[in-house]
Amino acid sequence: MAEDAQLHPSGDPLLAAKFAVPVVPPAFVARKRLLDRLTEATQGPLTVITGPAGAGKTSLAASWQSEHLAPGPVVWLTLENDDHAPGVFWAYVLGAFRYHRVPLPDGVGSPSSADNVDHSLIVRLASALAELPGPVVLVLDGLEHTAARDVAADLDFVLAHAGPQLRLVLLGRVDPALPLHRYRAEARICEIRGSELAFSPRETDRLLRCHGLQPSKESVTALTERTQGWAAGLRLCALAMQRTEDAEQFAQSFAASQNAVADYLMAEVLAVQPDTTQDLLIRTSILTHVHPELADALTGRADGELILGRLVRENAFVEPIGDTAWYRCHPLFAEVLRAHLRSRSPELGAPLHREAAHWLDRHDRLTDALEHAAAADAWTYAAGLLVDRLAAARLLTGPDSHRLERLFRAMPDGLPGTAPALAAAACALARGDTVASRKHLAGAGENGDATVESRLTGALLRLLTDGGAHRPAQEAPDPGREVRVLMEQVDRDTLGRHPEIEALRRYGLARAHLGAGRRAEAREAFTAALAAATDEQTWTVRHHCLGALALTEAVDGMLCEAEAHAREGLQAADEHGIPVGHRTGLCHLALAAVASDRGDLTGAGRYLGAAVGSGAPTWDALGAAEAAVLRSRLELAHGRTAAALSELDDAPVSAGGAPFAEGEAAGRVAVARSAVHLARGDPRAALGALRRAPRTGPAHAVASAAAHLAAGDTEQARRLLAALGDGEGDGAGDACPGVRVRALLVEAQAAAAEDDIAQAVALLGRALDTARPQQLRAPFTERGPWLRHLLAHTPELADAHAWLSGRPAAADGRHGPGTAGASPAGPPLLVERLSRRELDVLRCAAQLMSTDEIAADLFLSVNTVKTHLKSVYRKLSVSRRSEAVRRARDAGLL
Among 11-15, 106-110, 477-481, 729-733, which range has the highest average pLDDT?
106-110
Residue, of 7 and 470, whose pLDDT is higher: 7
- The single-letter DSSP state of residue 473 is G
Contact 1, 99 (CB under 8 A): yes
What is the pLDDT, as a whole number, of residue 725?
63
Handedness of CA 449, 450, 453, 459 (dihedral sign): negative
CA 603 to chain centre: 24
Contact 382, 373 (CB under 8 A): yes
Handedness of CA 242, 244, 248, 252 (dihedral sign): negative
Paired with 171 in beta bridges are 49, 141
Paired with 169 in beta bridges are 47, 139
* Neighbour-count burial of 435, counting CB atoms closer than 10 A to its CB (0-12 exposed, 13-18 middle, 19+ buried): exposed
Determine which of 398-402, 544-548, 804-808, 871-875 has the lowest per-residue pLDDT on average. 804-808
Contacts of 181 (CB under 8 A, 6+ apart): none
Return the number of other C-beta atoms located less than 10 Å from residue 431's C-beta: 15
Helix (H, G, I), strand (E, B) or coil at 811: coil
* Of residues 193, 141, 160, 152, the one with CA closest to residue 176: 152
pLDDT tens, residue by residue, 349-382: 999 999 999 999 999 999 999 999 999 999 999 9
What is the pLDDT, as a whole number, of residue 288?
87
Could you give the count of Cα atoms lying within 13 Å of 660 in the half-sphere of its Cβ?
26
pLDDT tens, residue by residue, 144-167: 766 567 788 899 999 999 989 999
* Neighbour-count burial of 885, counting CB atoms closer than 10 A to its CB (0-12 exposed, 13-18 middle, 19+ buried): buried
What is the pLDDT, as a whole number, of residue 744?
93
State the Cα angle at 666 between 660 and 668, rounded to 5°. Answer: 105
Contacts of 369 (CB under 8 A, 6+ apart): 356, 357, 358, 359, 360, 361, 385
Q: Distance between CA 794 and CA 797 in Å, rounded? A: 5
What is the pLDDT, as a whole number, of residue 661?
55
What is the pLDDT, as a whole number, of residue 875?
75
pLDDT(91) > 80: yes
Amino acid at 847: Q
pLDDT(4) > 60: no
Reported confidence tier of residue 6, pLDDT bands at 50, 70, 90: very low
Residue, of 31 and 781, whose pLDDT is higher: 31
Q: Distance between CA 894 and CA 892 in Å, rounded? A: 6
pLDDT tens, residue by residue, 228-271: 777 877 887 787 777 777 777 767 665 434 455 677 668 767 88
pLDDT tens, residue by residue, 803-841: 776 544 444 333 333 333 333 334 334 556 677 788 888
Backbone phi, psi, residue 171, to 5°: -110, 130
pLDDT tens, residue by residue, 172-221: 867 888 888 888 888 999 999 878 888 999 999 998 888 888 888 888 88
CA 670 to chain centre: 33
Q: Distance between CA 685 and CA 664 in Å, rounded? A: 20
Region of 432 please: left (phi>0), alpha (psi -120 to 50) or beta: left
Helix (H, G, I), strand (E, B) or coil at 327: strand
Contact 121, 149 (CB under 8 A): no
Region of 333 please: left (phi>0), alpha (psi -120 to 50) or beta: alpha
Helix (H, G, I), strand (E, B) or coil at 77: strand
Q: Distance between CA 881 and CA 879 in Å, rounded? A: 7
Q: Distance between CA 368 and CA 542 in Å, rounded? A: 27
Could you give the count of Cα atoms lying within 13 Å of 345 in the half-sphere of its Cβ?
14
What is the pLDDT, as a whole number, of residue 285?
94
Helix (H, G, I), strand (E, B) or coil at 477: coil
Amino acid at 863: N
Contact 672, 706 (CB under 8 A): no
Handedness of CA 826, 831, 835, 840 (dihedral sign): negative
Pairing label, strands 318-320, 327-329: antiparallel
pLDDT tens, residue by residue, 22-63: 888 777 888 999 999 999 999 999 999 987 667 788 989 999
Contact 547, 91 (CB under 8 A): no
Backbone phi, psi, residue 184, to 5°: -65, -45
Give me the DSSP letters along 607-674: HHHHHHTT-PPPP-HHHHHHHHHHHHHHHHHTT-HHHHHHHHHT--TTSS--HHHHHHHHHHHHHHHH
Residue, of 433 and 613, whose pLDDT is higher: 433
Give me the DSSP letters along 723-764: TT--TTTSTTTT--HHHHHHHHHHHHHHHHHTT-HHHHHHHH
pLDDT(127) > 90: yes
Contact 226, 212 (CB under 8 A): no
* Of residues 564, 556, 622, the one with CA closest to residue 591: 564
Reported confidence tier of residue 474, pLDDT bands at 50, 70, 90: very low
Amino acid at 207: L
* Of residues 539, 439, 521, the one with CA closest to residue 480: 521
Q: Distance between CA 794 and CA 768 in Å, rounded? A: 13
pLDDT(517) > 50: yes
Reported confidence tier of residue 846, pLDDT bands at 50, 70, 90: confident
pLDDT(872) > 90: no
Supply the mean pLDDT for the chain: 83
Q: In what order do the strands lie in the sheet with 166-172?
A: 74-78, 136-141, 166-172, 46-50, 189-192
CA 90 to chain centre: 16
pLDDT(403) > 90: no
What is the pLDDT, as a whole number, of residue 593?
94
pLDDT(584) > 80: yes
Residue, of 433 and 807, whose pLDDT is higher: 433
Average pLDDT over residues 664-685: 89
Determine which of 78-82, 165-169, 361-365, 889-893 has the lowest per-residue pLDDT on average. 889-893
